[in-house]
Amino acid sequence: MRHMAEKLASCVAAAITMSVFSGPAQTADYYLSNKPGSGSGTKDDPLSLADLPKPDNKPVRPLTVLQPGDTLWVQGW
């Protein structure tokens, strides 16, 4: 559980960092839930734990899709 929380914190920190250095832009809502597999980030097909950063720090879907000003909604566990 701690490892999952660290991954989520890393993803959220990256999103916050991106939003601090942004100018006016179109924004979007993305969703993350505790589900197997991968998703597109919509409310009906949320991103999943599989989409969060791995220990190798390779770019993952949330960090390549999220733009400054976007909102990442974390659906309840």
Q: Give 17-73 pLDDT, tens digit per residue.
A: 555 555 556 899 999 888 888 888 899 999 887 777 778 877 777 777 888 899 989
Residue 12 corresponds to which amino acid? V
Q: What distance in Å separates the CA atoms of residue 3 and residue 20, rounded to the nearest whole number?
A: 26
15 has pLDDT over 90: no
Supply the pTM of this predicted model: 0.58
And the tokens for 14? 């990256």
Partners of 74 in the beta sheet? 32
CA distance 18 to 33: 21
